[in-house]
Amino acid sequence: MRRTRLASSSIAAWRLRLDLASALAVKALIGFIVFTGLVPAYAAPPRLSAVEPGRQLVFPQDFGAHPGFRTEWWYATGWVETPDGKPLGFQVTFFRSTTDHDPANPSRFAPKQLIIAHAALSDPAEGKLLHDQKSAREGFGIAHAKEGNTDVRLGAWTFVRSAQGSYEAVVPAGEFELRLRLEPTQPVMLQGEQGYSRKGPRPEQASYYYSEPQLKVSGTIVRHGKPVQVSGSAWLDHEWSTSVLDQNATGWDWVGANLDDGSALMAFQIRNKDGSRLWAHAALRTPDGRVTRFAPEQVSFTPQRTWRSPRTGASYPVAMRITAGGQAFELDPLQDDQELDSRQSTGAVYWEGAVTLTRDGRRIGRGYLEMTGYVKPIKL
């Protein structure tokens, strides 16, 4: 009987120690999580900068990152050809996003800035878009977006601008590898009003935005372990903002195109929930540097043909007529299936594809068409 009581007493004591140890372990785990920044240790969110008209963009400073703003991206798209004349399209995009984590948190693990990257290759021989994506918190030599000049990294993926102005893109993706050099042939193209680009009816619905069109591209693309020399042209967008979209916006259509005569065309529309135009803008720069800008009512995107994704069921107007003022541009895709599913990183599914621009049946340029919000409304 005594032994039974002793045994019961020992079991009770053991359970008490186990409960105490569990409580201490949970407390230690919570402390670790707070200390390392996996959850905010402080209540104050960051104070983000606003986009305002009249700010003068300053280079080379504005080639670099702007961590005081919510969202930022460097977007390179282009057409290249292999030695046997085969056309390919490519996309390299790096995103930087400021989180709501308190910037006063001293932990190196605090996810104050997120770096996300997308890469894609359009090859008609494949029949669909080849693409890859990555994401990580900034820090530890793994991911960064540096200030002062373009220098973004996510693991082995890098996009860096030299002091002379050329860009080096190194992207070892899952099904392909890009090693490309992009060299400027024209000055920076400030979008909107000297870089202040309206995206909606309210002044704060805007971004700071510049482009570098007519970039000369050279380098290699690796497929199935075989490197192939390529050359062509590209378009670079760099944009940063904090509050950019109207609450009624569901997505946008955008095109950046290098025209064969040396001109550069940028046009976009923000779509309303009912599919109508909420906002729009276009800019056309001639080879001698003259820029014509078009107001929302002068810009239209008219679908000519749609393609339905077998994966998401979304219907995209892959053939489009864009008008800016009295000028019309017909857009036809290099291939219909150029849908990029980035739900593992940005959470969006969008169509980003190489397109040829024609007028009266004659090719006048090449560029990239981006369409968002066709699967579900886009959120920045």
User: Distance between CA 289 and CA 214 in Å, rounded?
Assistant: 12
pLDDT band with cut points at 50, 70 and 90 for residue 12: very low
Q: Is residue 247 part of a domain?
A: yes
- Provide the pLDDT confidence category of residue 3 given band limits of 50, 70 and 90: very low
**b/e burial code for range 306-328 (CB count within 10 A of at least 16 → b):** ebebeeeebebbbbbebbbeeee
CA distance 272 to 253: 12
Cα first-last separation, the chain: 70
Residue 191 belongs to some domain of the structure: yes
The residues that bridge with 189 in the sheet, in sequence order, are: 211
Q: Which of 13-17, 215-219, 259-263, 309-313 has the lowest mean pLDDT?
A: 13-17
Tokens of 130: 């080849």
For residue range 145-177, list pLDDT tens digits in order.
999 999 999 999 999 999 999 999 999 999 999
Residues 6+ apart with CB under 8 A from 279: 198, 199, 200, 201, 205, 246, 249, 269, 270, 296
What is the pLDDT, as a whole number, of residue 141?
A: 87
Compute the mean pLDDT over every residue in the chain, rounded to the nearest whole number. 87
Q: Quickly tell me which residue has 């008609």 as its tokens.
A: 124
Residue 164 is part of which domain span?
61-372
User: Number of folded domains in the chain?
Assistant: 1
Let me know if residue 254 belongs to a domain.
Answer: yes
- Closest by alpha carbon to 91, among 205, 247, 254, 242? 254
**Range 105-122 average pLDDT:** 81
Separation in Å, CA 312 to CA 305, 346, 349? 18, 16, 9
Report DSSP letters for 296-314, one per residue: GGGEEEEEEEEEE-TTT--
pLDDT (tens digit per residue) in 202-220 = 998 999 999 999 999 999 9
The answer to whether residue 38 sits within a structural domain is no
69 in Cβ contact with 240 (< 8 Å): yes
* Residue 132 pLDDT level (bands cut at 50, 70, 90): very high
Q: Which of 123-132, 221-230, 344-353 has the lowest mean pLDDT?
A: 344-353
* Distance in angstroms (rounded) separating the CA atoms of residues 9 and 121: 69
**What pTM was computed for the model?**
0.85
Residue 95 lies in a domain: yes
DSSP 12: H
Task: Tell me the CATH number at 280.
Answer: 2.40.370.10
Q: Is residue 284 part of a domain?
A: yes
Per-residue pLDDT at 230 exceeds 80: yes
- Integer-rounded Cα Rg, in Å, for the chain is 25
In a domain, 8, yes or no: no
Q: Within a domain: residue 16?
A: no
Q: Percent of the chain scored above 90 by pLDDT?
A: 72
Between 218 and 30, the higher pLDDT residue: 218
Q: What is the mean pLDDT of residues 244-251?
A: 84
Please report, for residues 71, 147, 223, 282, 359, the alpha-carbon distance to residue 345 in angstroms, rounded to integers and kept in the order given.
14, 23, 24, 29, 38
